[in-house]
Amino acid sequence: MTDQDEQDDHRSRHFPVREDMVFQHKVWRFERVGWYVLVLLVILTLLGLFSRGPLSDRELYSSDGSLGVEYQAFHRNGSANTMTIRLKGQPNAVLEVALGGDWLEGFEVQTLQPPPMRSAGAGQGMTLWVQADKQGQASLYLSLLGEGFGTYHSRIATPGGATVSFKQFIFP
């Protein structure tokens, strides 16, 4: 194929079919951009933009390190994700933690392990009491079912003043 033949392929024709090659080149460019956008969307999905993955994994600690939370920043409505709350205090002590904010409006707590020694409703949240181990540490593992849409603000606090605040987003 010569350069002349290649140039003829990109020239508008009227026979046997009417072609507008300028418009056709624009369509091809648009399709190419669409493919790049789709590939980028698939990569972001695999990385966790819409649920579990590196883009969604978060880990926060209070300034004194006595309270920490591991959670997913992005959820899908109807899917379950985990949250881990870590507490540090006196060895073998009963530790108190308050879960607040509007997160209970968008999430249903499906499981809570280990079961707290005691629990109570507190406004828009709940307060839990757990037993610390010999090193003064305790962990709570929650399984959360996303049941809303939008951004939900959460706040976890201890009576000692340690606080962690964070946001989670539920996709439809």
Residue 31 or residue 13, greater confidence: 31
- pLDDT tens per residue, range 123-135: 778 999 999 999 9
pLDDT band at 18 (very low <50, low <70, confident <90, very high): confident
Percent of the chain topping pLDDT 90? 57
Burial of 73 from C-beta contacts in 10 A (0-12 / 13-18 / 19+): middle
CATH 2.60.40.10 fits 57-171, yes or no: yes
Segments making up each domain of the chain, as ranges: 3-47, 57-171
Reported pTM: 0.77
Is residue 67 within 8 A of residue 59, CB to CB? The reply is: no
Count of residues making up the chain: 172
pLDDT of residue 96: 94
- pLDDT tens per residue, range 75-100: 889 989 999 999 999 999 999 999 99
- pLDDT tens per residue, range 35-64: 999 999 898 888 887 777 888 899 999 999
pLDDT of residue 59: 94
pLDDT band at 21 (very low <50, low <70, confident <90, very high): confident
Q: What's the DSSP call for residue 161?
A: S
Tell whether the torsion through CA atoms of 129, 134, 136 and 142 is positive or negative: negative
